Structure 1
């Protein structure tokens, strides 16, 4: 089979979450354990960092991987979903696995795959672990797919666990309260393995403290130790000062000045607190990560890891930005940043999947925006015409154009140079843009 034929074969054979939604999520670890045993338990052959959270886990994973690369470590990175191509999920020092390796893996193990019929995600995790073990990485940064406790990545015993934050997403699977969701995320906390929580939250901190105590795991709330403060008035790009708590004086002293994260959204300041605490923990675990490596990794994360889709500037005339934020927690943060922009008119190109509470999400957006509703090429996508109907029912109006690229072309013809265009609502909408 060719590479394209191989991917089509997997899509036709296995349950795929981004196409079918929660019915493709298997709420146990039996399949990934069988896959790993069959492959010789590759997850036991490399060190890892495990990262969960409602939002920010992707950016945090890329920041940490970029810093480790800058410090000279051969670093694996597993993330999901991919934007453009399946191979994006598996990277070593920012370079994706070769397509030929995917083809050979599937051909070699085809009989086993057809017998077990795991989910697409379960098989992806197996490929990642096998790849990192064979390539003998120094360390791998592993992003949780969904939740934590029952996520297929959760068979690893990392040297460090990270939970970025807790918000409402996938409530049908993870629970309908923040403590319930936090308990699922806390499932990645392992016996005697330190855990970093990027943001302290009064509703969820007790869940994490209780679980860490149960597992005899040292817990670090990064926001207690680090403060990252934007120091520029520009709400498009980001420059920050980093402060660190001085144990002797119990005051926050300047640690890094004029740091320019290559991920621009101001919401990255919360992710960076967790990243800095992670680096401190790694150095306590006898890694050798210098301040220069921290600065280089944060300032060059896009080139080092090939990350896309996080407050990504597609054009400056007019300012055109896409972002993969897709739940209430993530979209609120993005919209707070958009609200601060000094522009004439705001245009929004939006698409959502069917299993989101679209009415609530649309109500987050400003009523004075001009909207163009679209849809991704996946069965989970809410049809653009239906999205327009929902919008009109809550006193929003706009246009319906099925293709996101056609929608962007249409909106660019309406917009003037001092306007703003945002594309988002769903990772799959951003993924189909030609310009990224």
Structure 2
């Protein structure tokens, strides 16, 4: 079984459960017990609708700068599956991952696991053999019933809470907030960086006796054009460099990171120099990523109203450009009209791109949604994101800008074709 290639194992994993997504902890918990899973170092869980990836990246960068061996599990990937599992900043080898898949397949018996559940357990198997000082796990969807929630966090972080994945998590912020709060634990630090947290999240933390820390109440930040400062319950961090990740919302994420590290200071002390170095060097592909060259090309995996609204704000903060082109591909189960309406006035020309798979919108269907959202610019239909970007580059002048967004699949297609990842 170990002789299977990673591609073979991933194809196999996709066929092990009748549903692509099936939330619940019983299956993962049973297989984890069969594997003899033990936790030997601090674990940080990171959930939220948007901002999870940036928060995980900053945690990893700062902890590595402090000299710790860090395991990081994130999803989805953009180009290679191995992006999901990193040890000290390096992607896991395909050989180690294949070995982990074989161990899980042997341990699961007749228990059907989803693709994400197998991947989560595989990440843990890899981490368990790597002598780590700390493990960071990003929630895939929701929190309460997500596979990573079988592990016991020493600290949990919930970033922003917005409407997304309504078929699984609920249709209101209160319902979704409750699901996100499911990663909190009694008497353990529970960080929330949403400036307006759902009451359901606050209530759940209170009911279970979590040590809830809210931005604006228990920690905060302030800054000028050169530097910023963090104020926590018992620890301040002054004269900090702005995170290398672009975007107006990154100080919210950075503040949650520092609040979490404050709670773990007795086990994972981090110096001011490590904080500064980590923030200066943090990288995250596809999050308001500005490519070199002209015209300016921005890649962003924004795919729901909250994240696309932030993208619109970030584009406006870039300053003047004569024309802005949008290369967009989106999935049919997203709030396309609500999302596009938030960025419509920032865009002059639209390239509506087809995405593959049963959930992917065709370019024509997306163009109809754009018109429904009331976009004022012209709309051109393209076969895919790469074709859309090439067409935008043909039309744009050197001082114009091009924003590529709408889905992880949209950005992934462009990255793969350009060889930039």
Give the TM-score normalised by the residue count of structure 1: 0.88
User: Which deviates more, 370-379 or 266-275?
Assistant: 370-379
Task: Indicate the residue corresponding to 1:272 in structure 2.
Answer: 254
Secondary structure of the equivalent of 1:371?
Answer: strand
Report the CA distance shift for 1:319/1:144 in structure 2 as closer, same or farther (over 3 A): same
Question: Which string of whole-angstrom CA distances, capped at 9 and with x for unpartnered residues, describes residues 120-166 of structure 1?
Answer: 00101111111111212111011111001111111111111111121
Matches within 5 A, 1:6-405: 6-14=9-17, 23-42=19-38, 44-110=39-105, 115-201=110-196, 204=198, 206-229=199-222, 231-232=224-225, 240-244=227-231, 255-257=237-239, 259-283=241-265, 285-302=266-283, 307-340=284-317, 341-367=319-345, 368-396=347-375, 397-405=378-386
* Distance (whole Å) between structure 2 residues aligned to residue 54 and residue 25 of structure 1: 17
Using the TM superposition, give the Cα deviation of residue 102 of structure 1 relative to its aligned residue in structure 2, in angstroms: 2.0
* Structure-2 change in CA distance of 1:417 and 1:224 (3 Å): farther
SS for the counterpart of 2:344 is: coil
Query: How far apart, CA to CA, are the structure 1 residues paired with 2:236 and 2:105?
Result: 55
Three-state SS of the structure 1 residue aligned to 2:326 is strand
Aligned to 1:235: none
CA offset digits 1:381-436 (Å, max 9, x no partner): 11112111222344444111122112111111111111111001111111121334
Distance 2:321 2:112 in 1: 51
Indicate if the aligned counterparts of 2:78 and 2:409 stay in contact, CA closer than 8 A: yes
Paired with 1:405 and 1:229, the residues of 2 have a C-alpha distance of 40
Secondary structure at 1:142's aligned position in 2? Answer: strand
Q: Give the number of aligned pairs.
A: 410
Partners of 1:245 and 1:4 in 2: CA distance = 45
Q: For the residues of structure 1 that align with 2:314 and 2:292, how far apart are their CA atoms?
A: 17
CA distance in 2, matches of 1:271, 1:59: 7
Aligned to 1:424: 405
Identify if the C-alpha distance between structure 1 residues 102 and 8 changes in structure 2 by more than 3 Å, giving closer, same or farther: same
Q: Distance in 2 between matches of 1:33 and 1:120?
A: 15
1:42-73: per-residue Cα shift (whole Å, max 9, x none)?
4x343201111111111101111111111111
Q: Which runs of 5+ in 1 are unaligned?
A: 16-22, 233-238, 248-252
Secondary structure at the counterpart of residue 370 of structure 2: helix
Deviation at residue 216 of structure 1 after TM alignment: 2.1
Q: What SS is found at the alignment partner of 2:404? A: strand
Q: How big is each residue's C-alpha offset from its partner over 1:220-240, in whole Å with a ceiling of 9 and x where there is no partner?
A: 1133354445644xxxxxx64
Retained in 1: the 8 A contact 2:286–2:411?
yes
Check whether the contact 1:264–1:311 (CA below 8 A) recurs between aligned residues: yes
Is residue 223–residue 274 contact of structure 1 (8 Å, CA) maintained in 2? no
Q: 1:210 to 1:382 in 2, by over 3 A?
A: same
| TM-score normalised by L of structure 2 | 0.91
- Counterparts in 2 of 1:230 and 1:399: CA distance versus 1, 3 Å: farther
The SS at the match of 1:224 is: coil
Q: Distance in 2 between matches of 1:128 and 1:336?
A: 35
How far apart, CA to CA, are the structure 2 residues paired with 1:333 and 1:138? 34
What is the RMSD of the two structures over their aligned residues, measured on CA atoms?
A: 2.3
